[in-house]
Amino acid sequence: MIYIIDHKDSFTHNIVHQFSKFDKHVECENFNEINYNKLKKANVIVFSPGPGAPKDYITSSKIYRKFKKKKKIIGICLGFQQILYNENAKIIQQSKIYHGFQSLIKVTSNKSLFEKNKVFKVGRYHSLKLKEPFFAKNFEITMRCKISNVAMTIENQIDQIYGFQFHPESFLTENGNLLIKKILSA
Amino acid sequence: MKKNYYLEKLYNSKKPFIIYKVNGGYDLYTDFSEKVFLNNKNIFNFFNKIEKIKNKKIFLSLYIGFFGYEILCNLNNVKIPKQKSLKFPKSIFYKPETKIQIRKGITIKSSHKNYKELFGKKIFNQNSILSPFKINIDINKYKNIFNQFSKKIKEGKTYQIKICTKYKNKSLIDPVNLFWKLMKTNAAPESFMIRDKNFSIVSCSPESLIEKKGNKIKTKPIAGTLKKTYKTNMRKALSFFKNNIKETKEHNMIVDMERNDLSKICKPGSVKLSKIKYVEEYKNLYHYVTKIEGIIQKNIKIKDIIVAMMPGGSVIGCPKISTLNLLNLQEKESRNIFTGSFGFIKFNGDMRFNIIIRSILNYKNISEIAVASGVVVDSTHANEFKENYIKAKSLIDLYK
C-alpha cells in the first residue's frame, strides 16, 4: 500500500492517479489528518508537493524521521525538500523562480537508477531549492537542471529514499510514469 | 434580439427569469415554483434532496442558480474574515416551470397551461446612472498588494494569485436591455442573466467549469488573453501564446491544477487532456484554452463534484487552498458572486456550471463589476492593473 501525505497542494491528486497505475491500494490524506493505522500498514510513504517550506510541516518531518529506513520514502517538490531538510540541508530561495516551467534535466551520477547523461523534459513548480554543497550519508544527487545545475533528484538506494524537485506527475513531464515505476520496483 | 409577443410581455413585467447561453441561441427559464437560498447549513441537504428525487423525468427537472464565492470557500473549509458586504445572498437556486428556447425561432414549454397570462403588473425600466464608476483599489494600493503577494511567491506560499479589483456605481438598470446590448458585442459561450425582484446579474462569462453528462465530466480552463487588433489572427494569437513564457507558465499551472481537481472525483487513469493549448476567438479578444475530461468514479455525490471543482482554479491561483487563504486575509470587501459559479443541476445528476467573471451585479441600486488578474513571478503591477481595467471596460461601456 502507498500512503500519500498531502500538504494541501493542487497537484497531489495527479500523483494519486499516477501511483495508482502501479499499486491498486493508494491512500491519500492531509498532513494534519494522518491516519496512523493506515500509515503503519503502508510499504511506501510519499510526501506531496505543497505551499511554503519544509519547516512549516512539523508532523511530516516527524513521520520522515520515524519511518526512515523502515519504509520506502518518496518526496516530490516540497516533499523532496522535506527529506533534505531532515537530513540537515538548507532550503533557500532561488533568484530565478520556476512555476509551470518545462525544462531539461540530466542524469549526472552513475549511482542513479537511471542511465548517466540521459536527458528528461520535466515540469517544475518551485520557489525554493537545495543549498549546496550538500552531503548526507548514502544520499546522492543524481539529476540536475541542464542550465542552472540546480539539484533535481536525490537517491538513497541503501535506505530506499528518493526525491524529485520537479513534478513527475505533471503533463509537462515526459516519461514521468517510467520514473515512478522504476523507483517503486527498485 | 428576437421580437416576440410573449417575450416582450415578459421583459416588461416584474416576473423573475434567467437566460443562459447555449449553442446556437439562448434558453430562458421562468415561472419559478421554488426559490432556495443556500447557506452553510442547508447546502448539503439541498444536494441530498436532489439525489433522492425518484421521478427524474418530471418536466424541467433541474435547479438553476448560482453559488457565490464565500459559500464555495466555506465548502473547502476556508473561512473568510469579516469584510465590508452588501449582504447579498450567498447562493440561490430556482426550480423553473417554463422554458423558452430562443433560437432562429422561439419554442415555449411550460407545466402551466395558462403560461401566456402569467405576467402580473407591467413595469417600465429605464437605465439611469446616479453616480460614475469608482474603483475600490487605486494603483498605489494595488502596487502594495502586488508587492506583498510577489514576496509570498518567492517564499513558495503561492505560485500564482489573482488580485481582485471592483468598479462600482449607483444606478437603476434594466438588465434585459444591458444583457442584449452585451450579447450583440460579446455573446460569450457561458453568458447568462438573472432578473429577480431585488437584484440582477448580467454576464458574458467565457469560461466553462463543469459539463457533466452521465459519468463523463469536462472542464475548459482559460488562461491567457490577447486583445484583438487589425494585425492579429488565430494563427498569430497561437504563436503569441506559445512564445510568451509568462502566459505559457500560467496556463501550464492551471492545466495541472484542473487535472488535479478532476482526479479527486474521477477514475484513476481516466483524466485526459482532450485538446491541449489552443486558441478560441471572441469578438474583441483571443483566449488560450485547454479541454480536460474524465470519467467520474462510482459513489461520487453532487457535493463531492462541487467541492472538488469550485471555486474554479483558473480565477483564484495555485495551490488553491493556500491561495484562497492569502486572498481572504487581504480582501476587505466581499466578492459576492465574482469567481463563484452559475449553472444548473439536473435531477439525474447532470450539470453545467460556469465561472462567474465579466459580470455585473446590481443590488440595492449599486452596480458592481469585479475583475482579477494574476500575480506570477514575472508580471508587473502596472500591467496587471491595466489588464484589470481592460477586462472591466467592455462592461463599464454598457452604461454609456
- A17 contacts on B by Cβ (under 8 Å): 263, 268-269, 271
DSSP states of B129-180 as a string?
Answer: ESS--EESS-HHHHHHHHHHHHHHHHTTS-SEEEEEEEEEEEEE--HHHHHH
Q: Does residue A94 have a pLDDT over 70?
A: yes
Question: Interhelix angle for B43-52 vs B302-309, to 10°?
Answer: 130
Q: What is the pLDDT of residue A95?
A: 86
Q: What is the pLDDT of residue B385?
A: 87
Of A52, A102, A171, the CB nearest to B273: A171
Query: B247 — contact with chain A (CB < 8 Å)?
Result: no
| Single-letter amino acid, residue A19 | F
- B153 contacts on A by Cβ (under 8 Å): 97, 99, 127
Nine-digit cell at A24? 491498486
Number of domains observed in the structure of chain B: 1
| Interchain CB distance below 8 Å, A102 and B257 | no
- B313 contacts on A by Cβ (under 8 Å): 10
Separation CA A82–CA A89 (nearest Å):
9
Separation CA B332–CA B334 (nearest Å):
7
Q: Does residue B1 have a pLDDT over 60?
A: no
Residue pLDDT, tens place only, B112-123: 888 877 777 666
In degrees, to the nearest 5, what angle opens at C-alpha B197 toward C-alphas B191 and B203? 15
> For residue B157, is it within any domain?
yes
Of B249, B259, B319, the CB nearest to A50: B319
CATH code assigned at B184:
3.60.120.10
Residue pLDDT, tens place only, B353-365: 999 999 999 999 9
Number of domains observed in the structure of chain A: 1
Query: A144 — contact with chain B (CB < 8 Å)?
Result: no
- B318 contacts on A by Cβ (under 8 Å): 10
| Interchain CB distance below 8 Å, B269 and A20 | yes
Listed residue (B90, B89, B88, B97) closest to B16, CA to CA: B97
Q: What is the distance in angstroms between the CA of the first residue and the CA of the last residue of chain A?
A: 15
Tell me the sheet residues that pair with A134: none
| Interchain CB distance below 8 Å, B319 and A8 | yes
> For residue B142, is it within any domain?
yes
CATH code assigned at A114:
3.40.50.880
Mean pLDDT of B138-152: 90
Contacts of B198 (CB under 8 A, 6+ apart): B363, B364
Mean pLDDT of B394-399: 89
For B294, which residue in chain A has the nearest alpha carbon? A17
Separation CA B182–CA B205 (nearest Å):
11
Q: Does residue A138 have a pLDDT over 90?
A: yes
Give the closest-approach CA distance of B166 to chain A in angstroms. Answer: 27
> For residue B122, is it within any domain?
no
| Interchain CB distance below 8 Å, A171 and B248 | no
> For residue B109, is it within any domain?
yes
Separation CA A183–CA B346 (nearest Å):
45
- A8 contacts on B by Cβ (under 8 Å): 319, 321-322
Query: A126 — contact with chain B (CB < 8 Å)?
Result: yes
Separation CA B336–CA A136 (nearest Å):
52
- A12 contacts on B by Cβ (under 8 Å): 260
| Interchain CB distance below 8 Å, A10 and B160 | no
If you count residue pairs, one on A and one on B, with CB atoms under 8 Å apart, how many are there?
103
- The H or E element that residue A92 is part of is strand A91-107
No. of helices (H) and no. of strands (E), chain A: 5, 9
Of B159, B263, B376, the CB nearest to A13: B263
Q: Is A46 exposed, middle or buried (0-12, 13-18, 19+ CB in 10 A)?
A: buried
> For residue B304, is it within any domain?
yes
Q: Does residue A17 have a pLDDT over 90?
A: yes
Give the closest-approach CA distance of A156 to chain B in angstroms. Answer: 26
Domain residues for the domain of B17 are 5-116+129-399
Query: A170 — contact with chain B (CB < 8 Å)?
Result: yes
For the CA atoms of chain A, what is the radius of gyration? Answer: 15
Of B252, B321, B323, the CB nearest to A123: B252
Mean pLDDT of B295-321: 96
Q: What is the pLDDT of residue B181?
A: 93
Nine-digit cell at B303? 457535493
Using DSSP, state whether B313 is helix, strand or coil: helix
Mean pLDDT of A119-126: 96
Domain residues for the domain of A13 are 2-185
Q: Is B375 exposed, middle or buried (0-12, 13-18, 19+ CB in 10 A)?
A: buried
Q: Is A182 exposed, middle or buried (0-12, 13-18, 19+ CB in 10 A)?
A: middle
Query: A21 — contact with chain B (CB < 8 Å)?
Result: yes
Separation CA B91–CA B70 (nearest Å):
9
Residue pLDDT, tens place only, A51-89: 999 999 999 999 999 999 999 999 999 999 999 999 999
Neighbours of B364 (CB within 10 A): 10
Strands B272-281 and B285-295: antiparallel
- B323 contacts on A by Cβ (under 8 Å): 51
Residue pLDDT, tens place only, B52-99: 998 777 789 999 999 999 999 999 999 998 888 889 999 999 999 999
pLDDT averaged over every residue in chain B: 92
Mean pLDDT of A34-50: 97
- A53 contacts on B by Cβ (under 8 Å): 155-156
| Interchain CB distance below 8 Å, A21 and B251 | no
Catalytic sites of A, residue numbers: 77, 167, 169
Q: What ipTM was assigned to the predicted interfaces of this complex? A: 0.96
Residue pLDDT, tens place only, A18-38: 999 999 999 999 999 999 999
Query: A123 — contact with chain B (CB < 8 Å)?
Result: yes
Separation CA B159–CA B252 (nearest Å):
12
| Interchain CB distance below 8 Å, A10 and B260 | yes
User: Which band of pLDDT confidence, cut at 50, 70 and 90, is reported for residue B125?
Assistant: low
Mean pLDDT of B138-167: 91
Of A52, A125, A128, the CB nearest to B253: A125
Give the closest-approach CA distance of A27 to chain B in angstroms. Answer: 12
Mean pLDDT of B298-320: 96
Mean pLDDT of B320-341: 95
Query: B253 — contact with chain A (CB < 8 Å)?
Result: yes
| Interchain CB distance below 8 Å, B260 and A99 | no
Using DSSP, state whether B73 is helix, strand or coil: helix
Under 8 Å between Cβ of A11 and A28: no
Of A52, A171, A172, the CB nearest to B156: A52
Q: What is the pLDDT of residue A7?
A: 97
Strands A44-47 and A2-6: parallel
